[in-house]
Each structure stands twice: as C-alpha cells, then as structure tokens.
A and B are shown apart, each in its own frame.
Chain A
C-alpha cells in the first residue's frame, strides 16, 4: 500500500516532476518547460483545506468511483486485470465532468491536448515514479498485510476474495503461497479476515489499534 507521511513533506514537488517525466511522450513545440510539466503530471502536491502543510495527492482508485459515474464518454473505466481506475485518452473529450465529481481533487488537466490526466500507478513499475523520487521518504510503499508463509497453505481463498487482485498465489521456496502486490493493495483487510489459517496479519488496522483510538477519543472528549 502506498502511504504518505505528510509530516515530512516540504512541498519540493520532486514527485510531480518525476511523474511528468515518466508520462511524457513527446515534447510539444511552443510551450515552456513549466507548461509541459503542468500538463503532463498525473498527481500533484497541494495544500489541504484550511491548513498550511503541503501533501502529495494521487488518485485513490476508489471502490465506487464518482469519476466513473461522471464520465460521459466511457473513457474512465476500471481495468478488469488490476482493478485500477484508468482513462482511455483516445476517448476523453475534455468535458471536465469527472473533475468536479472526484471527491479528492486528484484528477489533473492537460490543456495542451485537451483531456484529463489521472494516476495510472505507473502500470507495472514498482514502486511508482513518485515514490522513487521522494527525497524525504514521505511517499512510501508500506507492507500493510503481511503473509506468514509458514502458516499459509496456498488455498487461494484470499485471491478469490480480493477486490483489487492484489493478492495472488505464487511459487515460492515453500511451494504455492499468497503474495501481496503492495502497489495494488488498498489495505482493506478482507484477505486477513477471511484466511482460514490466520496467516495474514494486518500491521496497522488491528483490533488493538482501533480500541486504543476509541479510548484516546474518549479521553479527549472527557467522558
């Protein structure tokens, strides 16, 4: 799962530049470098509401994406193989409906080619360009769901249940075992809760963590 530790972010925009470089296909004449950068990047560094801290913002690849409801051409679609929400740039006519329907403001505009841009997680490259470029380790690929290969028996239940196709059976030294693709994992926890062998552990969203959060909230509220 790709996480952002925004406390460390200084807003250097290295991730934006790396993203633009990664997705740049041709240099159009008559445009400045900055214009080309702004119209090629698929993510951006923004300042959240009412605050001062910058943070990197990429597409969340939502479960029920509102941008998909918005698209009048069908250019926005969910890739059946990876579960990512992608755009067919040939079909996009630049009507900007998805732009305002997106809840997170992650959709970018390419005014040169007159279409929208959105994160494709650099397809098969792992980790994506923005994560590689970050000098402060703000963007990190973090293992959220850890599979214990001693306990895993390779039954494949998690593979059939994963909404993101992020967990797959692969040949390892110990035979067929479940392996998580951290690039696609959203940390939803379905695989962990379904595992009959209790082989998958969630590192962040444990019951204990949830309890601690509730207690902390109660403490703050002086109940």
Chain B
C-alpha cells in the first residue's frame, strides 16, 4: 500500500501518525512545496517577537520522518492529479503513483492587491520564508504597519512592538477580530494594544504603497500618507486549490468531503484548511482555518485511509490567543444575536475580564472568555456535544466549577 500525503502542516502530519498507528509496513510519501520540516504557522509571530528560538517553530522533532518511516519530498509542490491513472504530477515533472492520496495543502494568503504591493518589505504572514526575511529586516526598519486584525495579525503587532518598532495596526472593519468577537470583548483587546504602544486605526485600509525599491509610504483611504518600511499582511487565508480540476473533483469554497473525509473520487481524501467539512453549529459545511480542526481532520483521514472506518464528528469555529497576560478564548458563534437567545455574562473591566455565553434553545451556541482562563474545557465540550445546559446555566461561569460531563 502506498500512501501519498500532500502537505506537511498539522493535517498531513497527524494523518501520517494515524496511518502509522494502524499500518506499520505501508509506504508513506510526504510531498510538499515547503522546503522546511513541518513547522507551525500560528507560532511564527512568537519567533518574530523573539520569545522562542528558530527551532521553536517546528512542531515535530527532526527525526519525525525517520521515526515514522516516511519518504519526504520537500520543495516540490503538487501541480496535477490524474485520478484515472492514480498518480500525481509534481512541479519538477516527477510522477508519483498512489494507492491512497491525501490532499492537505492548507490555505494560501488572501492577497491585498493594490498598486505597489509587489515592493520589497511587504510580507504575508503565512510562510516561514517570509518570516525569516521579516526577522532579517527588523534591525533596519523603524516604522511597521500590520494589515488585518485577525489573531495572527494581533500577535504580529505585539511581536513587532516588542522588537522596538513603531507599529500601526490597520483594520478594515470597526473592531479587531471582527469575524469572531463581539464589540465589547474586542474593546478589551484594543485597550491592551494601546498599552503595548501599538497604534490602532479602525475602518482603515491601504489604497496603495509607494517607495523606490523598498516600500516607504502607504496611502490610506482616509487620505493620509504614513511612513512604513515593513508591511505585514494577515488578512486571513483561503483554500489552496490551484492544482484541482473542478471537473474531476467536487469543489465549492474548499474541497467537499464526506464524513470519512473522502472527496468525490475514490481513494482521494482531503483534510485541513483545504477541505470543506461538516460544521456542528450550522449543520452545513464550511472551511475554517484553525489548527485543532486541521489536526483532527488529518487524524481521522489517516485512520480512514488505513482502513479503520471512523466518521469525523465535525468541528466548529474556535480561536484562542494570549495577549501578554490577557487571554482571549472564543468558541462557536458569539456575533449573531437573535430573539430568544439567552446571554450569560460576567464583566469586570478593571481586571479586563469579559465573559459571555450565548445559549440558543438551551444549548450553548458560542462563548467568548476574555481575561480568565477557567471552565473553557467544559464549555467547549457542551458546545461540541450539543448538551442541554438550560438548568445549569447560572453555574457555567462560576469560578469553582469544573465541568465533567
């Protein structure tokens, strides 16, 4: 049996580990366009800030491929899949036949295509090679701007400020983390940014960049012209599907998979940010680029590929980050509020605590826990399993409570 895993992010690596648990002898080939060993994208801002060494971004040890008897093909991406002949074609023209194929190519950055966006000094936060160049540039720059108020963008702000740069964060919407957080919770994070000497500008976007070879100025939609020698763009990711022929494999936003992570073609599986899979909350399918979802899908895909049929239970949106002492944990949907939804909340602005739980028909729909980090495990469990919490909702935010289902 020959397994071919495309991509070495969390989905790919967890799939390899799951396959090896069941199938000790099958041949595993790991193809990726990355030239690095498996590394973690959410940790990269910590490396920029100097909190962890370069080795810290790798989430498996150097012997991972040897230990799991995997043949790695690094720096050679997938260009085409030929399902009729069961083989894939790589950039270098190399053709690799497969018995089972997993597509775990992850996401590619959402481009910010404006005039001058090709200048030197403008980087996306989605690749370690970019991050290495950011770190090289830091000693030579004074002013940096970060575009996009998502978790990765926020972490990048604090990291750059920690390195002594003047950082401006430009967010197109009216608050930071606009996709997941309610305005009140976002306020606390915004205050924290202010304390860390990051200048936050809401409802602001860049219309064009100016500079000689390197970027020097950014023209904003407010009419201002601000100096910047380093631009970091973190506007989210979208599924990386360049090599997929929509006539062959069913694709919506991402690759459509069933509960066994199988695509519309037999023996081809998809997992991670590239796959569009079942969402517990909406009942539909969607793509959400978060780490635990990718690794779990990879695990289930690996199990199914190795012949252990195990349905994937589905995931929901979640984010968590620590903001220099203020933790921010979000799960489910806290943005939409309709008639009949019950909100359980606790506020203490002095200690930057703001916790709210949205309950729909007696079941948790979303929770945002800012400031204090207890009880989250139970809340997540309730959300995942759709457990009825109407009669215990008052004790959900109690400090002493521990939730074991």
How many angstroms from the CA of A165 to the CA of B286 in the assembled complex? 40
Residues of A within 8 A of B378 (CB): 49, 105
Q: Which residue of A lies closest to B367 (CB)?
A: A100
What is the predominant secondary structure among interface residues of chain B facing chain A?
A: mixed
Asked if B400 contacts A97 (CB within 8 A), the reply is no
Shortest Cβ gap from A66 to chain B (Å)? 7
Q: Number of contacting residues on A, CB 8 A?
A: 35
A87-95, A119-127, A135-143, A186-194: which lies at the interface: A87-95
Asked if A46 contacts B322 (CB within 8 A), the reply is no
Shortest Cβ gap from A97 to chain B (Å)? 5
Quick check: is B46 within 8 A (CB to CB) of the other chain? Answer: yes
Residues of A within 8 A of B56 (CB): 73, 91, 93
| Per-position 1/0 for B8-44, Cβ under 8 A of A | 0010001000000000000000000000000010110
Shortest Cβ gap from A70 to chain B (Å)? 4
Shortest Cβ gap from A126 to chain B (Å)? 26
Q: Which residue of A lies closest to B402 (CB)?
A: A46
How many angstroms from the CA of A150 to the CA of B217 in the assembled complex? 83
Asked if A47 contacts B292 (CB within 8 A), the reply is no
The B355-382 residues at the A interface (CB cut-off 8 A) are 373-381
Quick check: is A161 within 8 A (CB to CB) of the other chain? Answer: no
The B295-323 residues at the A interface (CB cut-off 8 A) are 295-296, 299, 318, 320-322
Asked if A49 contacts B401 (CB within 8 A), the reply is yes
Quick check: is A71 within 8 A (CB to CB) of the other chain? Answer: yes
Contact of B42 among A49, A95, A96 (CB under 8 A): A95
How many angstroms from the CA of A74 to the CA of B42 in the assembled complex? 12
Residues of A within 8 A of B61 (CB): 74
Interface residues of B (CB under 8 A from A): 10, 14, 40, 42-43, 46, 51-52, 56, 58-61, 291-292, 295-296, 299, 318, 320-322, 325, 327, 329, 331, 373-381, 391-392, 395, 400-405
Could you give 19 example pairs across A and B, Cβ below 8 Å? A46-B401, A49-B378, A50-B392, A50-B395, A66-B292, A69-B10, A69-B14, A93-B43, A93-B56, A95-B322, A96-B320, A97-B291, A99-B377, A100-B331, A100-B376, A100-B379, A101-B292, A103-B377, A105-B402
